[in-house]
Amino acid sequence: MTTLVLLRHGETPLTPQRRLSGSGGSDPGLSPAGRGQARAAADALARRGGIGAIVTSPMRRCQETAHWAAARLGLSVRVDRDLREADFGAWEGLTFAQVRERHPDDLDAWLASPESPPSGGGETMRQVTRRVTAVRDELLARHAGATVLVVSHVGPLRTLIRLALQAPPHTLFHMELAAASLSTLTYTAPGEAMLHSLNDTHHLG
């Protein structure tokens, strides 16, 4: 059995405002609150034990979160570019309300179909799914029988969960993954996965 422990990065200055922050815009680091969340998550992971490897998105907020865990667990961190957040195109830095006001038709299309990109040539959810699936398959092959900490963003982590549940694409928009939350997936065979926990924030107090 291979286990993926999914950790969303801690808060950035944009997180409390619920602004879209993908790979096509700025690359903010953790806020002071986010650094505290990363420390709390690292402590929770140390209490959990058993983690044998850490892989992270290349984006600054994830690398900072991952390095708190690595320092606490005594592990190195491997960066995988395909764990980056989606590119939200012209929506980068906007709230959903602002996107709804400025790009209503494009937003409706994006919510309805994984083949529709954000305005301005962003990434489709189908493209995100393709690269996240490749990461999952590589992790399961490289770390068979082990437990791996995956530090990433809402989009890729929701995608891993959706794929594990064999759920349709629109379910991505019905999952809450708070900053510095932990979720756990186990894999017993190709195509056989189980969700053990979702959006666990008990360590955040």
Distance, CA of 107 to CA of 179 (rounded, Å) = 24
Give per-10-residue mean pLDDT for the chain (205 aa). Answer: 97 94 92 98 97 98 98 98 97 95 96 95 95 96 97 98 95 95 92 94 94
What pLDDT is attached to residue 75?
A: 98
Instruction: Report the phi/psi class of residue 176: left, alpha or beta, with left for phi > 0 and alpha for psi in -120 to 50.
Output: beta
Residue whose entry in the numeric block shows the structure tokens 């892989």: 55
Q: What tokens appear for 19 in the block?
A: 């602004």
Q: Which entry of 11, 85, 92, 123 is annotated as an active-site residue?
A: 85
Q: Give alpha helix (H) positions in the chain.
A: 32-48, 60-73, 96-102, 104-112, 125-142, 154-165
> 67 an active-site residue?
no
Q: Is residue 51 exposed (0-12), middle (13-18) or buried (19+ Cβ within 10 Å)?
A: buried
Q: For residue 8, give the CATH number of its domain.
A: 3.40.50.1240
Rg of the chain, C-alpha, whole Å: 16
Note down the domain range covering 20: 2-204
Instruction: Tell me how many domains the chain contains.
Output: 1
What pLDDT is attached to residue 25?
A: 83
What pLDDT is attached to residue 121?
A: 87
Q: Which entry of 9, 103, 153, 203 is annotated as an active-site residue?
A: 9
> 85 an active-site residue?
yes
What pLDDT is attached to residue 126?
A: 97
What pLDDT is attached to residue 158?
A: 98
Q: For residue 69, which amino acid is it? A: A
What pLDDT is attached to residue 177?
A: 97
Distance, CA of 54 to CA of 106 (rounded, Å) = 36
Residue 198, H or E segment: strand 192-200
Contacts of 104 (CB under 8 A, 6+ apart): none
Distance, CA of 19 to CA of 66 (rounded, Å) = 22
